[in-house]
Amino acid sequence: MKSTIHSNTESLISTQNKLEKLVKAGLALSAEKNIAKLITIIFDSARDLSNADGGVIYLKDGNKLAVELISLNSSSLVLGGLSEHPAPRVIVVPEIMDFLQKESVLFHACKAYKNKEIILTSDQNLSLFPTGLDNEPTDYIINSTISVPIITRGDELLGVLQLFNPCRESIHDISNTEFHTTNGLLESLVAQAAVGLDNRNLVNSLKETFNSLIKVIAASIDSKSPYTGGHCTRVPVLAEMLAHAVNETNEGPLTNFKIETEEEWRQIWIAAWLHDCGKITTPEYVINKATKLETIYDRIHEIRMRFEVLRRDAEIKYYKKIAEGETDITLLKEELESELEQLEIDFTFVAQSNIGGEFMSDEDIEEIKRIGERSWVSHYSDKIGISIDELRRKDETPEDSIPSIQKLLADKPEHIIPRTKKYPNIRDTLGNPISTPENEYNRGEIYNLCIKQGSLTAEDRFKINEHTLIGLEMLEQIPFPDSLKRVPEIAASHHETLIGTGYPLKKSKINLSVEARILTIADIFEALTASDRPYKKAKKISEALKIMKLMCNDQDIDCDIFNIFLQREVFTQYAQKFLSPEQCDAVEISDFLYK
């Protein structure tokens, strides 16, 4: 009687201990995010519950089972893609089970997988598969196994848990209470493991999907225009290189800056990939605007045709006067030649002004206006054969009678495209609303030709810069978790300066995170050295660094990060991957350090 009570008490205590281990294992499984650690927790918990001295975890890899963890005696080794230092994995196709030796542990793992049931073996001399490890185990004995399929709530097979030499005192006796208790606890553990693995697979799947969408957006922007080239795919690489260099620095003002978690690294990665996401809405013809009159096409061709009309009119006038009996042919010829010469001079001036390569003086602007006062005769209505949108704009002014006298160059009401998008919910760092131009576009011919420098109007420039505001709005609509909540701030700040002269929010250094300042330098160096831009020649390393040092002087970029960029030779690492040999000239780092 006493011995029975004592035995039952020990059994209850043992069961209680195992239940406690099961509960602890469940809590650990629900909390663990690292897949390699998750696998280790599953196996260690199963080994403790079953009193096994070894085993294997196989995970599904396509239509195969891959050994992800093997444990013999007291040591475990995580293999394959889950390890920081992966060893070769043993992979088996369950469909070939019938061709495997029944003494092989692989046979029983495949059987559990195919049958979706627990497979028990005992009192056998089982063989271990070749592990592929440096020290192949030769003296490890396997007499019994429990092979448990890992199945999700949706009846999806994730793998197999296989334990070596479990319940050594009781597995030979399936009527043993302890065996049944252990077996039930193992089933519960594996069920929890399936939930943990399934959740982790789901998280990984969502993460991979999100990563793919990020790269698709970046690739779309890079493909949209040759003027951006491969910018969106190269900046993340350089940003990560520089972030590692800053993170590893042990001296200077940035000593305390550390990126400590995987999610913090992921935050920079996402921000770098999406820093120009707003450009997906920027019209290609604005990004690519190479001349002042260019929209979807270059309107200089329209103006050339008007000059052609004036030339024909001058010639027709000459011949009409002769036909009407004018006798002073020499005078008429001189007048014609003078008119044609002036037309040539005027068109050449307009055409050269359209290029935008030279600074336009006040005298140049007055000359454009003078030329614009010339007139030509139109014989056809400009309100037919056009889009509804353009017709709506033209309807705001009365139609000229036909034929009508038209200015050679004009700023017309229909050239104005009113701005409809404002940013009432975005404020700069001083709390002021974002200043936007009155109009979306002003396509007036004189207005554009009188741009003093370059080819962009104030409206065009804002439209290009607006990608940061659009990007900020886009990113703020994504429900990032707390660990990634600074992605919008990092991504949208790459055009800010340290003294509040940048855009879109006029931030200063105190408002800019270190990550944002890292991204700014990566963005600038990539843009300066890019060789796939049709509008400029790629700069050599020395030329790019010289410009960036000047930007340090103007406090456009962070000089401390720039010095790390130089001292750790991040630019060299990047150059080896992306720059041509002609760009990689020798530089003396000390010449560019900001002191």
Q: What pLDDT band is residue 90 in, cutting at 50, 70 and 90? A: confident
In whole numbers, what is the pLDDT of the chain averaged over residues? 86
- Rounded Cα gap, residues 414 and 16, in angstroms: 84
- Rounded Cα gap, residues 29 and 43, in angstroms: 11
Domains in the chain, CATH or no CATH each = 18-204 (3.30.450.40), 225-282+466-591 (1.10.3210.10), 300-418 (no CATH)
pLDDT digits (tens, 9 = 90+) for 254-287: 999 999 999 999 999 999 999 999 999 999 889 8
Give the least confident one: 25-34, 198-207, 329-338, 411-420: 25-34
- Rounded Cα gap, residues 538 and 225, in angstroms: 17
- Rounded Cα gap, residues 169 and 51, in angstroms: 10
Is the Cβ–Cβ distance between 439 and 459 less than 8 Å? Answer: yes
29, burial (CB in 10 Å: exposed 0-12, middle 13-18, buried 19+): buried
Count of positions (residues) in the chain: 595
Rg (CA), the chain: 37
The percent of residues above 90 in pLDDT, for the chain, comes to 54
- Rounded Cα gap, residues 298 and 285, in angstroms: 10
464, burial (CB in 10 Å: exposed 0-12, middle 13-18, buried 19+): middle
pLDDT digits (tens, 9 = 90+) for 442-485: 999 999 999 999 999 999 999 999 999 999 999 999 999 999 99
Is the Cβ–Cβ distance between 254 and 560 less than 8 Å? Answer: yes
471, burial (CB in 10 Å: exposed 0-12, middle 13-18, buried 19+): buried
Look at residue 568 and tell me whether its pLDDT is greater than 90.
Answer: yes
Look at residue 13 and tell me whether its pLDDT is greater than 60.
Answer: no
Q: What pLDDT band is residue 23 in, cutting at 50, 70 and 90? A: very low
Neighbours of 268 (CB within 10 A): 26
Q: What is the pLDDT of residue 492?
A: 96
- Rounded Cα gap, residues 330 and 439, in angstroms: 52
Look at residue 550 and tell me whether its pLDDT is greater than 90.
Answer: yes
Q: What is the pLDDT of residue 17?
A: 53
Mean pLDDT, range 303-329, rounded to an integer = 92
Q: What is the pLDDT of residue 269?
A: 97
The percent of residues above 70 in pLDDT, for the chain, comes to 88
Look at residue 218 and tell me whether its pLDDT is greater than 60.
Answer: yes
Closest CA to 246 of 28, 595, 566, 16: 566
Locate the DSSP E strands across 338-430.
Answer: 375-378, 404-407, 416-418
DSSP 152: -
Is the Cβ–Cβ distance between 524 and 548 less than 8 Å? Answer: yes
What is the C-alpha end-to-end distance of the chain, expressed in Å?
89
DSSP 255: T
Q: What pLDDT band is residue 10 in, cutting at 50, 70 and 90? A: low
- Rounded Cα gap, residues 189 and 311, in angstroms: 92
Both tokens assigned to 161: 């848990």
Give the least confident one: 82-96, 114-128, 578-592: 82-96
Q: What is the pLDDT of residue 174?
A: 44
Question: Which pTM value belongs to this model?
Answer: 0.79
207, burial (CB in 10 Å: exposed 0-12, middle 13-18, buried 19+): exposed
Q: What is the pLDDT of residue 301?
A: 96
- Rounded Cα gap, residues 304 and 302, in angstroms: 5
Task: Name, in order, each residue with C-beta under 8 angstroms of 243's C-beta and a sequence gap of 6 or more.
Answer: 259, 265, 268, 515, 518
Number of H helices, E strands in the chain: 19, 11
Strand partners, 406: 376
Estimate the share of the chain in helix, then strand, then coil, as percent rounded to the nearest 5: 50, 10, 35
Look at residue 172 and tell me whether its pLDDT is greater than 80.
Answer: no
pLDDT digits (tens, 9 = 90+) for 346-385: 999 999 999 988 899 999 999 999 999 999 999 998 888 9
CB-side neighbour CA atoms (13 Å) of 462: 15
Task: Name, in order, each residue with C-beta under 8 angstroms of 281's C-beta and a sequence gap of 6 or more.
Answer: 467, 470
Q: What pLDDT band is residue 1 in, cutting at 50, 70 and 90? A: low
